[in-house]
Amino acid sequence: MVTAVSVAQVGALVGDPARVAMLQALMDGRALTAAELANAAGVTPQTASGHLARLLAGSLVTVVKQGRHRYHRLASPQVARLLEGLMLVASDAGNPKPRAGTRDAQLRLARTCYDHLAGWLGVSLADTLMARGWIEIADDAALVTPEGLRRLTALGIGVDVGPISIARSRPLCRPCLDWSERRPHLAGRLGAALCTHCLEQGWVRKRSNSRALEVTPIGWRALDEVFEIRPPSASK
């Protein structure tokens, strides 16, 4: 049962800058070691160990053991949604906004939000699919149309359309409000499939130690041909 106390406990866990930095580092779906997360948060390994123990106890992260190493990852897509929502609220908090740098611009153009595409690129994909009638979005719900399933399958974008089970309760398609664009990108199984397809085809590639994605020259050509998506400067 969710109580005021349990909500406050989660709030306390994400109320520390170092822990937030660790969780943000895990938002691209990677599993990282304690040393890597300590570096991301700018704290000592001993301090990072204490923070990770609290995040593990609070079910915000999980641990995967491989040989002598322990890798940490977000416990679920819901944790990524929580962080994305907090970033949206933080960007509207009325605090003086720092001057946007190169890294910030890269994150706003294209990034991962757990296992789906976010930023300008993610929102543009959602806009295109909706304009073509392949998906429908209303408020906090979305669906893939029969025409959309046919078209996506023809493009080689494999989407698991099996019924939702207790073991796999993730929806097929769900809007996720983008903190930088203030409009929805796509999450759920379809969002993950689109991200996987773009990575496997070499349309985008991950940047080292960042959630930012780089759209490759091949990617821009393919995105234009398949989805009529052009670089922001070329779209104006």
pLDDT in tens, 92-126: 765 555 444 556 788 899 999 888 999 999 999 99
**What is the set of domains in the chain, with CATH numbers?**
4-75 (1.10.10.10), 100-235 (no CATH)
Let me know how many helices (H) and strands (E) the chain has, helices first: 11, 10
Q: Are the CB atoms for 75 and 55 separated by under 8 Å?
A: no
- Residues present in the chain in total: 236
- The two tokens of residue 222 are 């393919």
8 A C-beta contact, residue 174 and residue 141: yes
Tens-place pLDDT, residues 136-174: 998 788 999 999 999 999 999 977 665 544 335 678 899
Question: Which pLDDT does position 151 carry in this prediction?
Answer: 95
For the stretch 112-143, what's the b/e string if a residue is b when 16 or more beta carbons lie within 10 angstroms of its beta carbon? bbbbbbbbbbbbbbbbbbbeeebbebeeeebe
Q: What is the pLDDT of residues 180-211, one digit of tens each?
A: 999 999 999 999 999 999 999 999 999 877 88
